[in-house]
Each structure stands twice: as C-alpha cells, then as structure tokens.
Amino acid sequence: MRRDGASPSMTVVVLSYNRPALLEAALQSIQVQTHSNRDVLVIDNKSGSSPQIQNIVVAFPGVALISNDRNRGFTGGMNQGIAAARGEYIYLTEDDIELAPDCLSELVEYLERNPDVVLAGPVMWNRQVKSVRCAGGSFTLGPAYDLKIVGAGESALPASQPYRTKFLPGAMIAARTRELREMGGFRSDFFMYVEDVELCTRVLKRGDGIAIVPSAKIFHHEPPASPETPELMFHRQKNLAALYLLHAPWAVLPGFLLRYAGMEGARRLFGRAHFGPWAKAWGWVLLRSPRLLAQRFGIIAGV
C-alpha cells in the first residue's frame, strides 16, 4: 500500500440482469469488504425484475443505480460502469457472484505493488460444488479457437502466490480506472462473448501484465442449464470472427474461415441447425470487415 497508509478509492461495478435474489447476496458481500474506501454502482439491464432490483438497491446505503431502458448486454453495461466510476481503482463483477471479505483489499494491494500489471483478478470458485471455476487461463487464435481455463473443476488452488496469466473473465477484473478508460473498455459492438479475450489481447499486445491473485476469492452461483437463444448464437459467431479479423495472425485466417465459415456453414445449412443466426452473424462480419481491418492497422481508432 501507499507510504502514507491511505487506502485508495475503488468503484465496484455490479452488472445486473433479472436476478434480484442473487443481486441482494452479491451486494451484501460487497458491504462487508475490508476495503472500506469504496463506492458501488449497479448497472441494471432492463428485465421483468427491474422494479424489484430498484427496491433492492435502495435498501443498500451508498449504492448507486443506473437503470437501462433496454438490455445493453455485458459490454454496454460494463462500459457504462467504467465511464461513471469515481474511484482510482475499479472492480467489475456481476449479480451472481459473491466476494470474500478481503477480496478487494487483496486486489488493490497487489495492483499498488505491481504498476506493470493492468488487469488483476481473483480466483473464482463454484459456490455450490466448491470447486475452482476459473483461475485465469490462456487462449490460442489458431485455425481452431482454443481457450483453456486454469484450475477448472479442481478442489484446490493451482498456486498460493500471485502469477501472470493471459486471460481473465470480464466479471472478475480489477484495474486502475484511468488505464481501463484509456483502453476504451470492452468493444461496445460485442454485446457478450469473447469480449474479455479481446480486451486481454489488447493488454498483452501493449506488453502489459495480467495477473491472478489467489488470496482474493469470489464465489459464483452455478447457472442453470438453458438452451442458447438465436440472438446469443448470433453474437457468439460474429464476435469470434471479429476477434480474428482484429487480432489473429494472418497465416491462420484461411484455416479459420474454412472451418467456421465454410464447413460450419455447410453443416448448419444441410443439417438445418440454426442456419439463420449463423448467416446473420457472417453477414454482420462481411459488412463491417473494412472497419475491423482498419482498426487492426490503426487507420481508424475505436474499440
């Protein structure tokens, strides 16, 4: 921490969507944090539970609420929080995640000691089964997209001391607010899916660090199994293709397009397996590919 002993301020951004009971538990976990110099901002993407969510937030003194008139997705909601944050540091979380009491203190202390680290995260545990859900990870933008999660399903931590990683989920990120704003936050056109991989890729390209702090812990309520909607299928496919146009090595693009546009398209067309969302996604990519490539080469700014 700082030499004068002062605790730096932190804004906790909680993204909320249609889970009032879980939001209440999440806010209770934030209220008892040992890092006291904080403010809390709930971003509520509109749902049938929005009136109930308003009532819950009002019951927590010092917690502010931004109520959206529609569902702005993960990226839209989190970017609102990043823009509105008042703290020197920021922590991004969601309504289905509870924080251990010293989580914020551990993350802020680590960032204070390691100025070369831009993003730091806790270890995420599955709340019910008490196994590791995520302790960082790595990804490969090859002909086939590959994301590996460290510690998933294990009953013990992979390490006791902080370590560098290549990947952090978007709902377990601590950062200096200024740096996250300078980077533009998440890509607003991604809505959800691989938005965290895209952010981590930009951090790594700059030569900056990403780290896991095992002493900081959070607990995720395991989501119930549910079918993916056509809208989410659309975002998943378009975002993966956009990620590749923005960041993948040129040599892998032909193999990626053969696999995900050619072979996958044929499978969906002839198998009648959700061809509509797939075709819509690739139409989106085709129309926006000049802009995505211009951003890749730095011809135009923006994320």
Instruction: Inform me whether the pLDDT recorded for 2 exceeds 70.
Output: no
Question: What digits encode the pLDDT tens for the residues 241-252?
Answer: 999 999 999 999
Cα distance between the two ends of the chain: 33
Compute the distance between CA of residue 229 and CA of residue 231 in angstroms, rounded to an integer.
5
Compute, in degrees rounded to 10, the torsion defined by CA atoms 198, 175, 53, 97.
80
DSSP 259: I
Judged on CB neighbours under 10 Å (0-12, 13-18, 19+), 58 is: exposed
Which pLDDT score, from 0 to 100, does residue 6 have? 58
- The pLDDT confidence band at residue 3, using thresholds 50, 70 and 90, is very low
Retrieve residue 215's tokens.
Answer: 């002493």
Positive or negative, the CA dihedral 71, 196, 154, 95 is: negative
Retrieve residue 5's tokens.
Answer: 């002993």
- The pLDDT confidence band at residue 303, using thresholds 50, 70 and 90, is confident
Instruction: Inform me whether the pLDDT recorded for 4 exceeds 70.
Output: no
Beta-strand relationship, 173-176 and 117-126: antiparallel
Q: Among residues 154, 177, 180, which one has the least CA distance to residue 86?
A: 177
Which pLDDT score, from 0 to 100, does residue 7 have? 66
Which pLDDT score, from 0 to 100, does residue 1 have? 44
Q: What are the boundaries of each domain within the chain?
A: 10-220, 230-296
| Full-model pTM | 0.95
Question: What digits encode the pLDDT tens for the residues 272-296?
Answer: 778 899 999 999 999 999 999 999 9
Q: Among residues 58, 43, 51, which one has the least CA distance to residue 11?
A: 43
Which pLDDT score, from 0 to 100, does residue 302 have? 76
Indicate the average pLDDT of the chain: 94
Question: What digits encode the pLDDT tens for the residues 30-78?
Answer: 999 999 999 999 999 999 999 999 999 999 998 999 999 999 999 999 9
CB 233 within 8 A of CB 274: yes
Over residues 216-235, the mean pLDDT reads: 90
Residue with tokens 């989501």: 223
The arrangement of secondary structure in 10-220, i.e. its CATH architecture, is Alpha-Beta Complex (3.90)
Question: What digits encode the pLDDT tens for the residues 87-140?
Answer: 999 999 999 999 999 999 999 999 999 999 999 999 999 999 989 999 999 999
- Percent of the chain at pLDDT above 90? 86
CB 19 within 8 A of CB 95: yes
